[in-house]
């Protein structure tokens, strides 16, 4: 999914100076952003008070939207570099196309994982014949410097490992949880899990004390470490936790996001992640000139133009020890 904002501004993210080294309960409210004609997303990352959670650097939650008489998601071809995109659905389908030639229909609780590496472009759309409701999340994972220039590729994993406990069914999206590991390729210590809770569930989820965590509420009513988290909001939890108390007041859907704090400082602009504003400016020129990012074949529409890059110069401030 793309950041479609036409007034995008560069921002610095990453670095341990942004990390809370102890357990906290920081509730993040979303910013509402239009995505095409019939989809509005709730953007949780980057947030005014929180830029990253481990390597997770972008989180959009959308739906459930009734798109029975609407085109649904229609995101024209657009570029990415320096990151992975994670497509995750609870309802509906999304058709993915990219410049490596991938064409894949993604269904609920199937992992669509695109690694941009040095450069890729893709589109996302609801199929012409689609389900009535569309509900899901789109997330980005920042690539470390050692892998950000790798070859672009796409993975689709329909059969993901599941961890169960009384009242819980946890599907592993990325990384590992309680002995189960996702087949999705990762480049930093990270975890992403879809948590389906049944009404009345009361449990403690094992965590890694060195990771920082957050929980995104997708549906239902749940308390995370005693804090009620409503759908479309996210609770940042900091580091230093060995377990996480969860209680469901109704059937509920949550997403657990975590990872080791991302030490490198990054510059994010539009759909690119780089290490300098000069690198971002070159990516913009390459996209607008039709070089480097390839062509998405089969999409009925024009690619997205890149927004203007503001003249203000940003530089990462260095690692904070």
What are the phi and psi torsion angles at 211 (to 5°)?
-85, 150
User: Cα–Cα distance between 95 and 146 in angstroms, integer?
Assistant: 30
At 320 the pLDDT is 32
Return the structure tokens found at 171.
């599907």
Q: Which residues of the chain have pLDDT under 50?
A: 1, 318-321
* Tokens found for residue 263: 């030490």
**What HEC string does 178-222 produce?**
CCEECCCCCCCCEEEEEEEECCCCEEEEECCCCCEEEEEEEECCE
Instruction: Please state the φ and ψ torsions of residue 34, each to the nearest 5 degrees.
Output: -75, 140
User: CB atoms < 10 A from the CB of 310, how many?
Assistant: 13
* SS3 state of residue 33: strand
How far is the CA of 180 from the CAs of 111, 202, 304, in angstroms? Answer: 16, 21, 39
Output phi, psi for 16, to 5 deg.
-70, -15
Task: Cite the DSSP H helix spans in the chain.
Answer: 277-288
63/126 Cα distance (integer angstroms)? 13
Q: What are phi and psi of 186, to 5 degrees?
A: -125, 160
Rounded Cα gap, residues 305 and 290, in angstroms = 11
Distance between CA atoms of residues 92 and 107, nearest Å? 7
Residue 222: partners with Cβ closer than 8 Å, 6 or more residues away: 197, 228, 229, 246, 247, 248, 249, 252, 254
User: What SS3 state is found at 284?
Assistant: helix
| Residues 157, 292, 60: CA angle, nearest 5 degrees | 45
pLDDT of residue 318: 45
Q: How far is Cα of residue 241 from the mean position of the Cα atoms in its chain? A: 22
φ, ψ for residue 13 (rounded to 5)?
-140, 175
* DSSP category for residue 98: E
In this prediction the pTM is 0.93
Q: Count of residues for the chain? A: 321
Q: What is the pLDDT of residue 321?
A: 27
CB-based contacts of 150, cutoff 8 Å, min separation 6: 115, 117, 118, 143
Which SS3 state, helix, strand or coil, does residue 126 take?
Answer: coil
Q: What is the pLDDT of residue 165?
A: 96
Distance CA 18, CA 57 (A): 12
For residue 258, which of 170, 160, 148 has the smallest C-alpha distance?
170
């Amino acid at each position: 999914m793309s950041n479609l904002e036409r007034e995008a501004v560069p921002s610095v993210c990453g670095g341990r100076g942004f990390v809370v080294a102890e357990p906290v309960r920081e509730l993040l409210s979303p910013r509402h952003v239009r995505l095409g004609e019939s989809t509005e997303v709730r953007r949780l990352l980057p947030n005014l008070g929180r830029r990253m959670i481990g390597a997770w650097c972008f989180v959009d939650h959308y739906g459930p939207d009734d798109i029975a008489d609407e085109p649904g998601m229609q995101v024209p071809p657009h570029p990415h570099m320096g990151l992975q995109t994670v497509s995750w659905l609870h309802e509906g389908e999304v058709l993915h196309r990219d410049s490596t030639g991938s064409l894949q229909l993604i269904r609920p609780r199937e992992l669509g994982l695109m690694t941009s590496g040095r450069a890729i472009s893709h589109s996302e759309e609801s199929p012409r014949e689609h389900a009535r409701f569309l509900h899901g999340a789109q997330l980005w994972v920042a690539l470390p410097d050692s892998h950000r220039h790798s070859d672009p590729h796409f993975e689709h994993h329909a059969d993901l490992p599941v961890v169960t406990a009384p009242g819980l069914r946890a599907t592993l999206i990325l990384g590992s949880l309680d002995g189960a590991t996702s087949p999705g390729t990762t480049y930093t210590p990270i975890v992403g899990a879809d948590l389906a809770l049944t009404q009345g569930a009361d449990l403690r989820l094992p965590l890694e004390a060195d990771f920082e965590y957050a929980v995104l509420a997708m549906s239902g009513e749940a308390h995370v470490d005693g804090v009620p988290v409503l759908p479309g909001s996210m609770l940042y939890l900091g580091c230093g936790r060995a377990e996480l108390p969860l209680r469901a007041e109704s059937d509920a859907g949550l997403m657990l996001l975590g990872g080791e704090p991302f030490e490198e400082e990054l510059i994010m602009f539009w759909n690119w992640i780089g290490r300098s504003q000069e690198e971002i400016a070159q990516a913009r020129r390459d996209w607008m000139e039709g070089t480097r990012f390839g062509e998405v074949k089969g999409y009925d529409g024009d690619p997205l133009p890149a927004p203007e890059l503001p003249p203000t110069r940003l530089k990462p401030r260095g690692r904070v020890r």
